[in-house]
């Protein structure tokens, strides 16, 4: 039995190393298809690179690498602000999805800045899941959003 489990684990690790991505659950956010892809960084440890992907129809608007998940299920919070959408990563990085220009830009790093008023949901890797889901939770407080004081590379 242990041999079968070991072989299954090795096969899964090989698939991840060959194909690179786990599937993600996408969300419709203001007519955009948004998802967070988990990309394996290390075949044996639970840390993953994360990529925020925004599409409009079949067109990819943007793909941006965001803060790495070191196995702690790092969340990405989503807000609406004046018709656009703000993504706030656990390290205080803010990204603006401009609805009119259909562009995603990284804003100035804003540690502990006041959160936008209209919370939409959170991309979160929940216990037992292997892919992040977009979930609507109770409105997060700043201490739940700003987890790692680690400015992103510009």
pTM of the model: 0.80
Q: How many helices (H) and strands (E) does the chain have?
A: 2, 11
For the beta sheet containing 76-81, the strands, ordered from the edge strand earlier in sequence to the opposite edge, are 103-106, 94-98, 84-89, 76-81, 118-124, 133-135
Answer yes or no: is pLDDT of 16 > 50. no
Give yes or no for residue 13 having a pLDDT over 70: no
Q: Is 76 exposed, middle or buried (0-12, 13-18, 19+ CB in 10 A)?
A: buried
């Amino acid at each position: 039995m242990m041999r079968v489990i070991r072989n299954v684990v090795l096969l899964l690790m090989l698939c991840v190393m060959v194909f690179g991505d786990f599937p993600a659950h996408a969300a419709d956010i203001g007519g955009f298809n948004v998802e967070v892809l988990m990309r394996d960084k290390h075949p044996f440890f639970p840390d993953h690179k994360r990529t925020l992907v925004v599409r409009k129809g079949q067109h990819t608007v943007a793909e941006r690498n965001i803060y790495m998940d070191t196995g702690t299920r790092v969340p990405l919070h989503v807000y609406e602000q004046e018709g656009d959408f703000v993504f706030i990563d656990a390290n205080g990085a803010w990204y603006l999805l401009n609805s009119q220009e259909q562009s995603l830009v990284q804003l100035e790093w804003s540690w502990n800045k006041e959160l936008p008023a209209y919370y939409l949901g959170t991309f979160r890797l929940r216990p037992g899941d292997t892919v992040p889901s977009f979930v609507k939770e109770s409105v997060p407080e700043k201490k739940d959003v700003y987890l790692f004081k680690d400015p992103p590379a510009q």
